[in-house]
Structure 1
Amino acid sequence: MQRIANCILTDKDQVLLLKKPRRGWWVAPGGKMEPSETILDTVCREFEEETGLILQDPVLSGVFTMRMENKGFLEKEWMMFTFRANRYKGKRLEQSLEGELCWKPVASVPRLPTSGMDRKILTHLLTSRDLFIGKIVYTPDEQLIDYTFSSNRDAL
């Protein structure tokens, strides 16, 4: 199972997002876990590679099981660990190899081009401090089949 870690970095009322060229969707910077890494190692390494910034004290805020199914059969499954941070060091890259980096107003997130699930996850994590847990199921062409979310407020 593939493991992915990303981070929602905020500074005042801005959030640093990455616009992926494939679809033009905005996402939280992050990437795939390497063998022997912890999820914390991964989020710090990937965030620095994609943005040039060094995260300080990222906090785990979301854990998501994601499945791709075709006619009821599992094709792929992965886990995404989403962190939040509001402190960092360094200078942001002018150009990221992964796409366009931009500070966006937090209030603009619900209107940005992104997947429906990323919009729900980003919006929730930008407005709540609860640990957010989810299961998301997609088709091979990335159409949403089903999802469930809960938070530690919901008696996890």
Structure 2
Amino acid sequence: MTSAGYRASPLRIYDLRPALDGTVSQIRTAVGAWTADWRNYSENHQLRWPYVFVASFEDGLQVFNMMNPFEPYTAGFYDTWDGQRAGVSDERTHRTGAWDVDVRNRDGLIAVTDAITGLWLFRMEEFKHWDGRGWGLPNVSSVQDWERGPTGSTEWTTDE
């Protein structure tokens, strides 16, 4: 998945299987795309299959489901910015609103930072926690349970 970093650009979804199985040498075409509002753009996103959590500036926190990458759909949202909206060509306020998002796997806590209104913490009813191994993926997150580590890890101590 990629974002171009400019207005009116959706998040593009690519199917990498043809390149991974050797059918093609390059992936050139997206199979799907998603945007909350074509007039705005998305800054950062976190993937926890099948959900993508998006910090989308003036559109706030957006969550979309890409189980079917050809037809992704919005699963939830919360507007963290209720100030003036910028026009498509207005660069004065284009960096207001949600600019970063992170998701804690252990309990599904969603953290969003907004450039104006600060830190927001969310829970989503359909998303209680996430373990990548259930989807054939590693169970990694930038907000791990640092006291216990990922499930199955051995506990470690420091010598004092």
TM-score range, shorter chain: under 0.3
Q: TM (normalized to structure 1)?
A: 0.24
Of Structure 1 and Structure 2, the greater helix share is in 1
Q: Which has the higher contact order (CA 8 A, sep 6+)?
A: 1
Of Structure 1 and Structure 2, the greater strand share is in 1
Q: Which has the higher Rg, Structure 1 or Structure 2?
A: 2
